Amino acid sequence: MTPVDRPRPLSASDDVLGVALVVPRQGPAGIFGPACELCARLAADEVNAAGGVLGRELRLVTVDGGAPPRLVADEVAALVAAGIVRGVTGWHISSVRQALAPRIARRVPYVYTALYEGGEDTAGVYLTSETPEGQLRPAMRLLAAERRVRRWYVVGNDYIWPRRTARAAHAYARESGGRICGESYLPLGTEDFAAALRGVERQAADAVLMLLVGSDAVRFNRAFAAAGLDGACLRLSTLMDENMLLASGPDATRGLSATAGFFGALATADTLDFHGRWAARFGLGAPAPSALGESCYEGVLLLAALLNRAGSWSVPAIEGAVGEVAWEGARGLLRLTGRHARQRIYLAEADGLDFAVTADLDGWSGPPERP
């Protein structure tokens, strides 16, 4: 972080309120870091145009969430201790959240925007994105019913989000008369997927559940297609965006589906309005906002709504007001249930370098029916 990025500490008379934006600038997730930053900037501009936060200008202080988790936590905690930021938001992997939340969450509000494994309930942590129960479970049910998927093979990175999500996936597969027939977990930054691909082929999987981050998923898509597996085996990802499709290439996306609360291809009034403001602000050459980047737009809006509703950045004050908070973004009008946002989730199929939304998954979240 350069001195020009860092606002001075706040005092009672200051007209600026600093917010740490923790997004990846390196590592596998760095592929969608630019979209995260631009989406957060758009939200901050709109918040400020509407009067700011607590009567002050909201100013983002970017922290590289792709650095080792302990270093990210150290940097953000130092910003909080110095009074430079009064809130934290952004997309970063669960290992970073687990390192960061105990350090700052009860001192300032922390809005976490990444899809994750579920279960976070630390006071002062608020979550805008998808969890397996609402995102993965209905998608697996639909693919079992409509595509006859019974045998799932998990390929994921080796950390908490993939492993806990896969644990839930075992139950979801059984609900629809299927099972997880194999699992491979690989370090972040993996380039060799040969062993995982052999496992998929050996187990005669109907579908691969991809729990890979960013450029790891891109390389897996290419290797999967090069091995000829895309002709017989589907892929489902809960972390796949338009930027990753573009990087994978059109020959590597056949049979690939993704599930999320936002896709660029959605044609709702809210998403169309968002895309219009995005293009007007950043131009047609900007990276696709995508579900991952757009989550940071929602995160800034929620953080502003929490502070303005509570009239304070104090976590106890916000906890007392959280049940009354609502905000409207590209995903429509959202509210918190507990500390989690409730939202519609969609299934989309890759169509070359873009997604085609094929289902609203709300109808697939009820009691399962055996095939």
On the question of pLDDT at 369 being above 90, the answer is: no
Please give the full DSSP string across 168-220, using - where no structure is assigned.
Answer: HHHHHHHHTT-EEEEEEEE-TT----HHHHHHHHHTT-SEEEEE--HHHHHHH
On the question of pLDDT at 116 being above 70, the answer is: yes
Residue pair 253/245 in contact (Cβ under 8 Å)? The answer is yes
Cα 244 from Cα 195, distance rounded (Å):
22
Cα 298 from Cα 39, distance rounded (Å):
9
pLDDT of residue 47: 97
List CB contacts of 203: < 8 A, sequence separation 6 or more.
Answer: 151, 153, 181, 182
On the question of pLDDT at 163 being above 50, the answer is: yes
pLDDT of residue 352: 87
On the question of pLDDT at 85 being above 70, the answer is: yes
Question: Given pLDDT bands bounded at 50, 70 and 90, which one contains residue 131?
Answer: very high
Cα 255 from Cα 349, distance rounded (Å):
7
| Mean model confidence pLDDT for the chain | 92
pLDDT in tens, 259-277: 999 999 998 999 999 999 9
Query: Mean pLDDT across the stretch 289-311?
Result: 95
On the question of pLDDT at 12 being above 70, the answer is: no
On the question of pLDDT at 370 being above 70, the answer is: no
Cα 172 from Cα 175, distance rounded (Å):
5
pTM recorded for the entire structure: 0.92
Query: Mean pLDDT across the stretch 55-81?
Result: 97
Cα 258 from Cα 207, distance rounded (Å):
12
Residue whose structure tokens are 């129960």? 133
Query: Mean pLDDT across the stretch 161-174?
Result: 98
Q: What percent of the chain has pLDDT over 90?
A: 87
Query: Mean pLDDT across the stretch 319-332?
Result: 91
Instruction: Give the CA distances from residue 149 to residues 146, 180, 190, 199, in Å, rounded to whole numbers and listed in that order.
Output: 8, 11, 27, 17
pLDDT of residue 301: 97
Question: Given pLDDT bands bounded at 50, 70 and 90, which one contains residue 323?
Answer: confident
Cα 319 from Cα 126, distance rounded (Å):
10
Question: Which residue type is seen at 136?
Answer: L
Query: Mean pLDDT across the stretch 25-34?
Result: 95
